[in-house]
Amino acid sequence: MTTGFVCHERYMWHDTGSAGLFVPSTGYIQPASHVEHPESKRRIRNLMEVTGLIERLEIIQPRSATREEVLRYHTADYIDRLEAMSEADGGDAGIGTPFAHGGFEIALLSAGGVLAAAEAVVDGKVENAYALVRPPGHHAEADMGKGFCLLANAVLGIRHVQATRGVGRVAVVDYDVHHGNGTEHAFYDDPNVLTISLHQDNCFPPDSGALEDTGRAAGKGYNINVPLPPGSGRDAYLTAIERVVVPALTAFRPDLIVVPSGFDAGGFDPLGRMMLSSDTYRSMTATLKRLARELCEGRLLFTHEGGYSAVHVPFCAHAVIEELADAETRIEDPFAPILNGMGGHQLYQHQEVVIDTAARLAAEVRPASELSAV
């Protein structure tokens, strides 16, 4: 079985303009590239070409998501607004989500790349897939863009295979350093989609991603947030995977696992304050792949989200995709020994308190069908 890979040069043409990091270049801020610029993404694909990893993958061509497919989550008003702005000069899709003329079409191709990858995984054309799409998706809300995200790529991918391919339960494991608020909100009432987000405590969006936010109505208990303290490193992440993700997914028995994959928990990221090296990303991927093989015939879909250190991100993404594909290029990541040699990788008590609280939530997870049968 193979690993599918989605990418397209058009993704790199999504233009976020100039900013100071992400703050508009006004007043005293000298104009520079917006932090969500193409370079980290383009360099992932370039590194994969240089190492030969890309030749080991099944290339999946993206397509544009249709209006009907986008309406499975987003409101008609929001789509109309995006379309009108995109036909003119662009603007801001909501909060902190700048885009230029034509940006809506690129967002449709980004969402459609995830749909194509989800189809390939569910149809068994590939075992798992990595969708290197842009713009990202996990902050987008039904009626507005947020945090560089125009359309909720992962949400649309999940709804698509549920609507067209009879997929039932889906588990989402989001390790982007920011809270996966859009994905949480999309499925907050839904017991068939278990959403887990490992993120830096109260980083972005503000006041989002608390331990107490566990779902609503029938979806109560099917949303688990793990708001890790700033400075968390290898052991905090791997412990969260072992004590929260593994038991929750094992109990939930998903038909598909979706991973919004951000590399902004990397130790050199300008927006995150975490410590990860490519080794931890590789380890997390190995566990997710093992879970997928044990629980759902390997069906595992990664959708690219954040990660803003243009030089470091490609090595993290390369490790993840290499692990997904069982490929043995094993190139050396020159940054791994530097980050691994820094302090802060052991599990500290203030991190363990958070993880153990989330672990108690994970211990309560059951497939919804079993609950209703009781």
For residues 41 and 253, which CB has a smaller minimum distance to Zn ion in the complex? 41
Torsion of CA 190, 129, 78, 215, to 10 degrees: 20
Minimum Å gap between C-beta 199 and Zn ion is 8
Q: Would you call 146 helix, strand, or coil by DSSP?
A: strand
Q: Tell me which stretch binds Zn ion (CB under 5 A): 194-202, 226-234, 275-283, 300-308.
A: 300-308
Q: Which stretch binds Zn ion (CB under 5 A): 77-85, 154-162, 217-225, 254-262?
A: 254-262
Cβ atoms of 230 and 202 within 8 Å: the answer is: no
Question: In angstroms, rounded to a whole number, what is the distance separating the alpha carbons of residues 124 and 126?
Answer: 5
Residue ranges in 132-191 that form contacts with Zn ion under rule CB under 5 A: 176, 178
**Nearest-approach distance from CB 75 to Zn ion, in angstroms:** 24
In the complex, least distance from residue 208 CB atom to Zn ion, rounded to whole angstroms: 12
Q: Is the peptide bond before 205 cis (omega within 30 degrees of 0)?
A: yes
Q: Tokens 């109309």 appear where?
A: 80
CA angle 116, 301, 231 (to 5 degrees): 135
Residue 314 CB, shortest distance to Zn ion, in Å, is 16
Choosing from 14, 138, 139, 304, the catalytic residue is 139
In the complex with Zn ion, the residue whose CB is nearer, 94 or 306, is 306
The answer to the question of residue 264 lying near Zn ion (CB under 5 A) is yes
From 71-79, 117-125, 261-269, 362-370, span contacting Zn ion (CB under 5 A): 261-269
Q: Residues binding Zn ion: what is the number (CB under 5 A)? A: 5
Considering the rule CB under 5 A, would residue 201 count as an interface residue with Zn ion?
no
Burial (CB count within 10 angstroms: exposed 0-12, middle 13-18, buried 19+), residue 330: exposed
- Rg of the Cα trace of the chain? 19
Least distance (Å) from Zn ion to the CB of residue 280? 16
The full DSSP string for 227-287 is EEPTT--HHHHHHHIIIIIHHHHHHH--SEEEEEE--TTBTT-SS----B-HHHHHHHHHH
306 binds Zn ion (CB under 5 A): yes
Residue, CB closest to Zn ion: 306
139 a catalytic residue: yes
Nearest CB to Zn ion, comparing residues 3 and 16: 16
Task: For Zn ion, give the closer residue by CB, 54 or 152.
Answer: 152
Residue 107 C-beta: closest distance to Zn ion, Å: 17
Which region among 7-15, 37-45, 105-113, 263-271 touches Zn ion (by CB under 5 A)?
A: 263-271
Rounded-to-integer distance, Cα 187 and Cα 338, Å: 39
CA distance 281 to 294: 20
d(CA 76, CA 85) in angstroms, rounded, equals 14
Residues lying near Zn ion in the complex (CB under 5 A) are found at: 176, 178, 262, 264, 306
Q: Which residues are marked as active site?
A: 139
